[in-house]
Structures are given as C-alpha cells and as structure tokens.
C-alpha cells in the first residue's frame, strides 16, 4: 500500500522495497533532560559515551540527539 501511494507522487522516480534484502536501519531520538548541578554533567558524559550530541542547552535542561539501533537508544534510556 505504501509503495502504491509513493508511486502516485509526482517527484518520485522509483520505489524499491528493501524488506526483501539486507539493509541498514537507524533511528533518531530527541530527549529533553531536566536536571541541575552534577546531574547535568552526568547526562553530558552519557551523551558522549553514546556518541550523541547536545542540540539545545539551558540552565536546567539539555536536548540530546542520539542516532543508532533500537537497542542503543533503549540502552541510553535505561541508564
């Protein structure tokens, strides 16, 4: 159904379904973390460990962007 809908769009040249072959899957997660003092430093350290980036910073919160597999993102949330 999705392939049919995409083919109806004017700008689409070709649609290829990758479910039948091997492919790379990545997810993007934005997390808004509210904390103060040492907790903010700890979140910055965890962000570096998970190869994320801080995309917004205020006095009491960070907005963190992390990309990767589902397992990686779930692991970040669990810590």
CATH number of 62's domain: 3.30.70.1150
Write out pLDDT tens, residues 52-68.
999 998 888 889 999 99
Residue 59, domain extent: 23-78
CB-based contacts of 67, cutoff 8 Å, min separation 6? 26, 27, 28, 29, 52
Nearest-Å Rg of the Cα atoms of the chain is: 18
- DSSP helix/strand/coil, 5: helix
Please state the domain count of the chain.
1
- pLDDT at position 21 over 90: no
**Assigned domain for 3 exists:** no
**What is the value of pTM for the model shown?**
0.67
Residue 13 lies in a domain: no
Examine residue 9 and state whether it is found in any structural domain, yes or no: no
Per the domain annotation, does 72 fall within a domain?
A: yes
- Determine the average pLDDT of the residues in 27-41: 89
In a domain, 44, yes or no: yes
In a domain, 69, yes or no: yes
Q: Can you tell me the distance from the alpha carbon of 25 to that of 38, in angstroms, rounded to the nearest whole number?
A: 34
**Strand positions, DSSP E, 7-52:** 27-34
């Amino acid at each position: 159904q999705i392939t049919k809908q995409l083919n109806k769009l004017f700008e689409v040249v070709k649609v290829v379904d990758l479910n039948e072959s091997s492919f790379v899957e990545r997810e993007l997660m934005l997390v808004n973390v509210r904390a103060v003092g040492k907790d903010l430093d700890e979140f910055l350290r965890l962000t570096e460990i998970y190869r994320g980036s801080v995309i917004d910073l205020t006095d009491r919160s960070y907005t963190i962007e992390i990309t990767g597999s589902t397992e990686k993102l779930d692991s970040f949330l669990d810590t």
